[in-house]
Amino acid sequence: MSDETGARIRKKALALFRKRGFERTTMRDIARAAKVSLGAAYYYFPSKDALVLSYYEDMQLAHDKAARAAFRGANGLEERVRGVLHSKLDVVADDRHLLGAIFRTAVDPESALSAFASSTGGVRQQSVAIFDEAVGDEPMPEDIRALLPKAMWLLHVGMLLYFAHDQSPGQIRTRHLVDDAARVIVPLIAMASLPMLAPMREELVRLVARAFEPQVPSPSTPPAPGESS
Amino acid sequence: MSDETGARIRKKALALFRKRGFERTTMRDIARAAKVSLGAAYYYFPSKDALVLSYYEDMQLAHDKAARAAFRGANGLEERVRGVLHSKLDVVADDRHLLGAIFRTAVDPESALSAFASSTGGVRQQSVAIFDEAVGDEPMPEDIRALLPKAMWLLHVGMLLYFAHDQSPGQIRTRHLVDDAARVIVPLIAMASLPMLAPMREELVRLVARAFEPQVPSPSTPPAPGESS
DNA sequence: GTCTATAACATGATAGAC
DNA sequence: GTCTATCATGTTATAGAC
């Protein structure tokens, strides 16, 4: 019954996390709720953080579906941006306190769950891909097109951080922020596309692109020449 | 000997953190090194995180001095930006692994040390002030002038995060990033100042300003003055 | 070999004696 | 103000059931 047991532990864990928060839920609580021993819980999930990562994956999958649904009714870039961001907030709305736990590990350079670690790379790439879909075939200079999804992913992390700290009722402030950001992005791209600004744009794009370069040769990518600094 | 004991605990703790990292240093190690009991250590510092906050304050003070020294030899905004950012990296260079511990708590909405919590407000305000000095009397539209220090503070947090993850020798990549950013900032301000872009600038400034609005009236500050975030 | 249960350990934090 | 127990909890080790 391995599959069933693991699923039950996971389900109970997420339920407890939602109800009482990450910190105040102990592994013993989880085991008790799932009617297994503490050791069994650890047999299925090597750490408490692993249970959070499990939530992280769930969340990503749910966002994929929600965002694509939003895209279907959307007209133009602004609406797609609004859709991809609001749908993310919808997905995590009931789990704001869990975000804190995720951020804590995501930000730690030593953690395997670090937002920049390769173990979460798959989930992150999937997340960037949905922003790529949001940009779609909106006309813009090639260099901007290449970077925009990553930049949006980064901003969306900031949005989640803001959301996690947002004390306003229904987190209305974050919702407003998203609307404002969506409204601004189209003219911003238009402005950046002005030929007159091409030189500066190139410099900015180069700067951001360099910031995104991988730190270590990832196992799937052979060591690229000329990438030490 | 209260003062002397507390100072000794603090000093030994920071030394151990530097030598062996935050995680691998236990409160018992610290107590032993400072020749006090575990309970005594907790008498002076209510938590392990409190010891990190203590480092955070030290770091801020050191950065103030280092940045002002850099300003004295600097000519123009670009050099001051370079100075304020590089001096920060200089100050934290030997404590990169400590940054991870700081971020972990700074990002957590429940933590008192959260970067957005009022208990760290004093330190953060001081940090924003040094970026205000860096901007100095550079001519630019009023609304940009008001927001720029906060925006720079935010970007500098990103820089520290990047620095903490930077595996390149001597963290040369972060250093290059700082140079690039400094080079870009002056033309960026010039561009944003174009009268032709005033409408969009106003919208952007309003967006960012709203994001910085304080969440709740802090208990230590009466609700009258319009500043805290 | 695959799963489960129990005991033990390390460490952050607390209580109460002196 | 300092100490000695003691607790709570994440994690690991060990032993057993099937």
Select the residue of A104, A183, A206 nearest B108 (Cβ to Cβ). Answer: A104
- Taking an 8 Å cut-off on Cβ atoms, the answer to whether A100 and B116 are in contact is no
Give the tens place of pLDDT for each residue, B37-50: 999 999 999 999 99
Residue with tokens 């996690």: A164
CB contact under 8 A, B168 and A215: yes
Q: What does the pLDDT read at residue A224?
A: 43
Mean pLDDT of chain B: 89
Q: Which helix (H) or strand (E) segment is B153 a member of?
A: helix B142-165
Distances (CA, A) of B139 to B74, B76, B83: 17, 11, 19
Q: Hey, are the CB atoms on B184 and A167 less than 8 Å from each other?
A: no
pLDDT tens-digit profile of A34-80? 999 999 999 999 999 999 988 888 899 999 999 999 999 999 999 99
Interface test with A, best of B23, B95, B107 (most A CBs within 10 A): B107
- Rounded to the nearest angstrom, the minimum Cα separation between B117 and chain A is 9
Amino acid at A217: P
Which residues touch A141 (CB under 8 Å, ≥6 apart)?
A192, A193, A201
Predicted pLDDT of residue A151: 94
- B178 CA, C16 C1': separation in Å? 54
CB contact set of B170 (below 8 Å; sequence gap of 6+): none
Domains within chain B, CATH numbers bracketed: 1-45 (1.10.10.60), 48-212 (1.10.357.10)
pLDDT greater than 90 at residue A172: yes
Encoded amino acid at B160, one letter: L
pLDDT at A156 over 90: yes
What percentage of residues in chain A have a pLDDT greater than 90? 68
> Which residue do the tokens 């879909």 mark?
A133
Q: Does the CB of B76 fall within 7 Å of any strand C atom?
A: no
* B157-173 mean pLDDT: 94
Mean pLDDT of A1-18: 89
Report the pLDDT value the prediction gives residue B105, as an integer from 0 to 100: 84
Packing angle between helix A121-135 and helix A142-165, nearest 10 degrees?
120
Residue of B nearest to A175 (CA): B211
Assess contact for B228 and A209: CB atoms under 8 A: no
The answer to whether residue B90 scores a pLDDT higher than 80 is yes
Tokens at B90, concatenated: 């200089």
Pinpoint the alpha helices (H) of chain A: 2-20, 27-33, 38-44, 48-72, 76-92, 96-106, 121-135, 142-165, 172-192, 198-212
For the cut 50, the answer to whether the pLDDT of residue B88 exceeds it is yes
Say if residue B215's pLDDT is above 90: no
Mean pLDDT over all residues of chain A? 89
